[in-house]
Structure 1
Amino acid sequence: MPKWLVMEETVVAEGAAPHQRILRSLGGDKTREQALVELRRIAKKHRPDCLKSTPCLVGQDSDGSFWILPKNGKGHARCNLRLIEQTHP
């Protein structure tokens, strides 16, 4: 079974380049469905630094990724969490 990484992509201002980082590696061999369940748990609790003091909404895209957006709709900060399949050479 593949190994999965949780990728965080944040944008802090309109027109700014996104900042990407690996948030964590999911331990153990998991199917994609199992990894998506864990990603959901992570997304519900996670707040990037740019949104720490802001009430947020968490929504899921059709590809299984999650968006963390400011609840009041003000500002341009946003965060996307998604699964990346880790490949081995």
Structure 2
Amino acid sequence: MEVTPELIQHLGRLARLSLTPEEVGQLEGELRAIVGFFEQLQELDTEGLAELARPVEVTNRLRPDQVQPSLPQAEALSVAIEQEEGYFKVPRVIE
């Protein structure tokens, strides 16, 4: 991938940043270094290596869904600042 000042300016526009020429030059060098690291990684022979190694095995700790009684409406509405006809009443946010 070729890193150019035009690419940096384009990325700056996408990020809605106003970059000075000095910042463009600095970011160009930094982005070239980052891309260089990825190019070095592509040169490595990873054939036969495990796809992912973790020091600690991670497992999902999901519980089965269980039907339980829900909060009674009167109890839920007891904390409402305003209520109307059995519902929470909130200020209108969309006109």
TM range (shorter): under 0.3
Bigger Rg over Cα: 2
- Answer 1 or 2: which has greater helix percent: 2
Length-normalised TM-score, structure 1: 0.28
The one of the two structures with greater contact order (alpha-carbon pairs below 8 A, sep at least 6) is 1
TM-score of the aligned structures, taking structure 2 as reference length: 0.27
